[in-house]
Every structure is written in C-alpha cells, then in structure tokens.
Structure 1
Amino acid sequence: MQFKHLAKNLIKFNLNTTLLAVGIAVSIGVPALAGVLWAKGRPGTLPRNAVEGGTQNRAKLYVCQAIHDKEYTPGKLAAPNFKYCYIPWGGKEYRKTTFRVLTGNNWKWVNFSGKLPNYPVWGGNENNGKYDLYPCRAILNTGYAPGKYYPPNKTCYVSYGGLEYQYKNFFQILTAR
C-alpha cells in the first residue's frame, strides 16, 4: 500500500518538476527543454515535421542520426525513399538502416562565426562521450547537405558519394529558435 502511494507521489513530482523546468526555460528565453525530438526512422517513410537540411540532386535531405562506433552521429536522410541515414566518419560515408530523424519546427540554421552559437541542437557524441556533436550543413555541389559539427576542430563534416568532406568556413549549425 505504501509503495503505491510513493509511486503516485513520484509521478506527480516528476510531472510537476518537468512542467516547472519548461516554464522557467520559456520565461527566461531558453528553448523548451522537451523540444528536441528524435523520432525512430522507418525506411520508406518520413516522420511528421521532419527537419529539412538541404537538397542533393534535387531531392530533399533531412537531419538524421545513427549509431556508429557505439555513439550517435548526425547525418542526412534522403528523399524519396528515406531508406538510409548517411553519416560522415573518418573520411568515409556510412549508410545506416537503423536511425532517428529530427522532428519539430522550432529550429533555425545559423551561419558559423568561429564559435558554437547559442542553443545548438544536440546530435550525438564522439570519443566515448567526451565531445557533443551537432547537426550542421554546408554547400555541396548544388545545395546544402547536412552532416555533423565537431567542436574541437571547429569543422562541419558532410558525406557524399562514399566520402567525407570537411568545411572549416561557410557552413551553418542547427539551433533552437
């Protein structure tokens, strides 16, 4: 009997704490804490409100993330079949069939100015969680292509055609509005 009472109070506490934290975040101008949603990807379908990252060969690209070397890494999901999340890693492009897609409409792309902008969207980790990765995009061929921003190198990495391309200037990072 006491356990049920305790469980109900914990649920109430967690709900109240979450609502309070989101309320404080909104009131002081910090993006809502619950706003980042990585939806499980399913080959052949695109989650509602998927975040666009650019175009490649006239096909839309979306922001995705997949596990590589035991850590999430941001990359690109290509229309029209939405089968793979392509991620840049170690000079190569990797094609992943298990992935998540960033959803929501409270994001904006910000030009990189030498430092990480305010409120970047978390996209994964690298080096056993030592560094956070963030979705970025750079112009590749005729349009923007999403990839990963690695803070220690101040570099946006984008994959295409089996290779990884590096951008130290003229790229954008996804942030919360």
Structure 2
Amino acid sequence: MNITEAQPASAPVLGFAPPCGSGPGCWVPASGGTVPPAAVEGGFDGSEQLYVARARHESDLIPGKLHPSHGVCYVAWGGGEHGHAEYEVLCSSGGQWLPADNGSIPSNAFPAGETAEGEPLFIGRATHDGTITVGKVQPSHGCCYIPYGGEEVAYKEFEVFVV
C-alpha cells in the first residue's frame, strides 16, 4: 500500500465539495495510488483495501474505488470501468454504510459527485465476485453501479455511505 502525507487543497481540484475542515468529510486531491491520511475505507479486492475516491470522466464527477496497487481510481460509466491516475479521496473521521435498494437514498447520504446534467451521485458499494467494491448510486437509474473487470455492473441491492 502506498500511504503518504497529502495536504488538503485550498480549493478542490475537481471542483465539487468544499475543502477540508468545512464539513463531515472532505476530498483530498491525490494521484498514482496515493492514499491520504484518514481516507475512508470502502471495501476489499482480495487482501487489498479499497478506498472511496472520485474522478472526472467525460463531464461527470463520479464516485468510485481507489485501488492503490493499480495506481488509479476506477469509475463506472457508459457500461465500462475507467481508470484515472488523478483523483480525489474522501477523508473523514466518521460515517457508516447503510443498506439500500432500488436507488433509495437516505437523507444523510454523502453527496459525492454529479452528472453533466446536474444529477447528484452518491457513494455506494456492493459485493461482487468475492470483493466489496465501491461505486456510484445514480438515483434516476434506481441502482448502484460498480466498476469491475472492465465493466460497469449494476446492483439493485447495495450499501450507501452516510454521515
């Protein structure tokens, strides 16, 4: 695992959430597999810890999984899994995962991105092929999409990150 000190940005590089210190969680810019201190753990792939991260793809800001040994944040979009070497990692001292289904979003879900059309995206995760994989919950689609094995995989039953 590649854990290094990362400094909070005065303004988010990818432009969505306020900087650290102004709420229950913050997004820390990182790249190349770097995991900042207090990164939110999102799941596992084999023995490797996955973290909650997000990246811009096309014109969307999409929550996904940071896979440190791969050096990228993977996001699900348009039927595929897309890796980005520059990303933001969610850092927080709290939060929990709650069960959800059919795109239902608890009122205290942490917004993590948005589509080009302005629809909010939330952090979700699902169990798939022996992993717990982080992805995006898109309420209008009624599911959680996870990036896995080069594909965008949809789940109607999943967990949502709340604060």
Same fold (TM over 0.5): yes
Distance in 1 between the 2:22 and 2:139 partners? 22
| Corresponding residue number in structure 2 for 1:174 | 161
- Greater radius of gyration (CA): 1
Local SS of the residue matching 2:31: coil
Identity %: 32
Shift of 1:113: 4.6
Aligned length: 142
Shift of 1:83: 1.2
Asked if 1:75 corresponds to 2:70, the answer is: no
Match for 2:115: what amino acid? Answer: E
- Correspondence 1:115-154 to 2 at 5 A: 115-129=104-118, 131-154=119-142
TM-score (structure 1 length as normaliser)? 0.75
Match for 1:116: what amino acid? Answer: I
| Corresponding residue number in structure 2 for 1:159 | 147
- Aligned CA-pair RMSD: 1.6
TM-score (structure 2 length as normaliser)? 0.82
Distance in 2 between the 1:102 and 1:86 partners? 14
Distance in 2 between the 1:153 and 1:97 partners? 27
User: Larger helix proportion, structure 1 or 2?
Assistant: 1
Shift of 1:156: 0.2
Distance in 2 between the 1:82 and 1:105 partners? 25
User: Larger strand proportion, structure 1 or 2?
Assistant: 2
